[in-house]
Amino acid sequence: MNAPHDQAVLHVSLGALVSNWKLLASRCPKDCGATVKANAYGTGMDRAAPALAEAGCKHFFVATLAEALELRTLLPEAAINVFSGLSDDDIPSMKAAKLRPVLNSPEELQAWANAGGGPASLHIDTGMNRLGCSLDNASQLTTDDLTSAGVDRIMSHLACADTPDHALNAKQRDAFKSLAAAFPGLATSWANSGGILNGKDFIGDVARPGIGLYGGNPRPTLDSPLSPVVRLVAPLLQSRSIEKGDPVGYGSTFIAQEPMTVATIGIGYADGLHRIIDGAGHVRVDGAICPILGRISMDSVITNISAIGPQPRGTPVEILGTTTVTEMAAWAGTIDYEILTSISPRVVRKYHV
C-alpha cells in the first residue's frame, strides 16, 4: 500500500544530524555524547541514536528509565545515562540493562552502593536548583565514597547556557571548577549544546548536547554554526475563493477585508502546530509566503494563497524548513525545544541521508 497522502511528514536529515554532532564534538577537548531524550527531540530516537553511534558517539543521555530501556534494545554496547535519578524499585532494571544512573542525592548514592554499585554519575547542583545533590552535601563526600560505589563521574548542568552573558554562568563555572578539584580522579560531565559553544570552561570530559544536534539554535540571540535537520511538510486539502466580509475558521476571528483565495492545509495543533501562533505565522507553497488566517484547528490550518491562486489537493506546503525552528518558536512565544518535541506521533517521519 502507498503511504497515505493526507497527513503531515517530518523529513529528518540524518546527515545533518551527524554533521552537527561532529561539529560539536570537534569543540570538545574530550568526549562528546548525545542527548536523545523525548524521542531524540521529536526526530525519532530509533533512527537518530543508531546514526550517531555509527558516527562514533559512545555516550547517550535520556531522561527516563523507559527511554533508556528502549535505547538499550537499539544500542547494545553504548553507555546509556539516565538523568531522572534512582528509584529503589528500578535498581534491578537499571542493572539488568547495564544503564548508568545519574544519582541526584547522597541517598541515591547510598542505595546504589547498597545494591552493589556500578558505573554511574553523581549529579551536583551548581546553581539551577532543579536536580542534583547540593554543594553542601557534596562537600561531605570524598572521591573514595563515590568510587567505592562504582561512580566514576561527576555531573552538573548549566541554567543559562543559552544566554552567555548571564552572570550565573561564571558562578556555576567557578563552583564546578572547585568540585572537579574536590574529586580528583573522577571524570566530569558538564556542557549541554550551549555550554559547548560557550567554550572550554563549560565543557568537561563528556558533553551532553541535545538541541544543537537537531538543528535548534542553542543560543537564540547569536548566530548558530549548526545546520537545520528537520523539514515539516503538509498537504493542501482544499482551495476556495471567499468574498470581502467572509469569516474564516473557528470563532470567526478572521474576516476577509477583500476577496481572496484560501487553502486548508492538513496540519493542526494535534500535529504540533501550536494553536497560539494564530495569525502570527505563515506557511510556504513553492516559496510563496501564505499567511495563516484565523484559528489553527486540531487537524488543519487555513492560509491565504491569493498570491498564487487556487492549488490542487496534495500540493506540498512547507511548514518548517525555510521557516526555521527558531522563527516558529518566536511566533509561538516558546523555544526551539518545545517546537521540536511537540511534533506529535501522528506526523510521519521520513529519513534522508
Ligand X SMILES: *Cc1c(COP(=O)(O)O)cnc(C)c1O
- Catalytic pick among 177, 200, 244, 250: 250
Per-residue binding string, ligand X, 149-168, x by CB under 6 A, is --------x-----------
* x-or-dash string of contact with ligand X, 186-225, rule CB under 6 A: ------xxx-------------xxxxx-----x-------
- How distant, in Å, are the alpha carbons of 286, 340, 343 from that of 320? 13, 10, 11
- Closer to ligand X at the Cβ: 209 or 281? 209
Least spacing, CB of residue 166 vs ligand X, in Å: 14
Nearer to ligand X, 193 or 224 (CB): 193
Q: How far is the CB of 37 from ligand X (least distance, A)?
A: 6
Q: Where are the alpha helices (DSSP H) in the chain?
A: 14-26, 37-41, 45-54, 65-74, 91-96, 106-114, 135-139, 143-147, 167-182, 193-197, 325-332, 336-342
Tell me which residue has cell 500535529: 271
Query: Is the Cβ of residue 212 or residue 235 nearer to ligand X in the bound state?
Result: 212
Q: 194 or 266, CB closer to ligand X?
A: 194
Q: Under rule CB under 6 A, which residues in 76-115 are in contact with ligand X?
A: 83
CB atoms < 10 A from the CB of 344, how many? 15
Smallest distance, ligand X to C-beta of residue 247, A = 41
Block residue for cell numbers 490542487: 312
Is 126 a binder of ligand X (CB under 6 A)? no
Strand partners, 302: 264, 293
Closest residue by beta carbon to ligand X:
210
User: Binders of ligand X: how many residues, by CB under 6 A?
Assistant: 13
350 is known as an active-site residue:
no
* Pick 8 or 320: Cβ nearer ligand X: 320
Least Å from the CB of residue 212 to ligand X: 6
Catalytic residue among 37, 41, 214, 337: 37
| Nearest distance from C-beta of residue 214 to ligand X, angstroms | 8
Closer Cβ to ligand X, 67 or 278, answer by number: 67
Site for ligand X, residues 163 to 192, rule: CB under 6 A:
192
The CB-of-20 to ligand X minimum distance in angstroms stands at 11
Give yes or no: 37 in active site: yes
Going by C-alpha positions, the residue among 171, 167, 179, 222 that lies closest to residue 204 is 179
Q: In whole angstroms, give the CA distance from residue 101 to residue 121.
A: 7
The footprint of ligand X (CB under 6 A) covers 35, 37, 83, 157, 192-194, 208-212, 218
**Catalytic sites, residue numbers:** 37, 250
